[in-house]
Amino acid sequence: MSTKIPRVTLVGAGPGDVDLLTIKGAKALAAADLVLYDALINPALLDLVPADKPRVFVGKRSGKHEFPQEEINALIVKYAFEYGHVVRLKGGDPFVFGRGYEEIQFAAQHGISTAVIPGISSAVAVPASQNIPLTSRGVSESFWVITGATKYGQISEDIALAAQSSATVIILMGMKNLEDITRVFQVLGKNTTPVAIIQNGTLPNERLVCGTIDTIYQLAQEQQVTSPAIIVIGQVVDLRFPSEQKTKIIQEANQFNLPNGSTF
């Protein structure tokens, strides 16, 4: 039995790219006595954990629940008392559809000290990686972030509410219900609204498929786009420009002498 004081640090791993982990998150991993990690985290992040410290996989992915949430909660408590500092590493931000609050609440109920280190949410980072702004003056004044499947596997009723607005709609975990999601927008006459699906966002194998409400389901089927993926619906999708064009713009802008030595 460890004589260390049990504590749990909940760390958001970010959307996938190793470099998008926060510095504070990296420090927590380096100070861990044991790490519990999910399926969607980049495995390279485990290299930040001291070599002699255990790393325990407790992953859950869409349609595959190797570890029920109740079992994960129990493991967090068990390992905190046995090892001391447990780092719970979860993809994206653990408070955005990550059930992170449930985990630290369970630990706190057992007298364990908890801390939360936020992560960069895939909801905002993944569209940005494809030069898609979630808001833009004159185009979109706000955005919704909605789960694509409730705990019963159905689409959220909030999607119908969001579809009535002019806001950008970001849907996480929605690929299995993509056809049903598009029908919600079609009923409201938004057939030509632009849609982007980004698979494996911020990773080297990132894929992008763009279409409209009427075409995106068929395009996703043809190109075999699967989870994990982010669905972005709204006029902001049409503001996207290719990465090579962005690079050219930056190169051209940096030819000018900007004030205070700043760059574009």
Provide long-range contacts, Cβ within 8 A and 24+ apart, for 203-212: 203/16, 203/17, 203/42, 206/129, 206/130, 208/130, 210/237, 210/240
Query: 50-89 as b/e, with b when 16 or more CB fall inside 10 Å?
Result: eeebebeebbbebeeeebeeeebbebbbebbbebbbbbbb
Burial of 203 (0-12, 13-18, 19+ CB in 10 A): middle
- The answer to whether residue 173 is catalytic is yes
- The answer to whether residue 60 is catalytic is yes
Distance CA 32, CA 13 (A): 15
- Of 38, 90, 93, 175, the catalytic one is 38
- Of 17, 33, 173, 175, the catalytic one is 173
- Of 27, 53, 60, 190, the catalytic one is 60
Which residue numbers are catalytic?
38, 60, 173
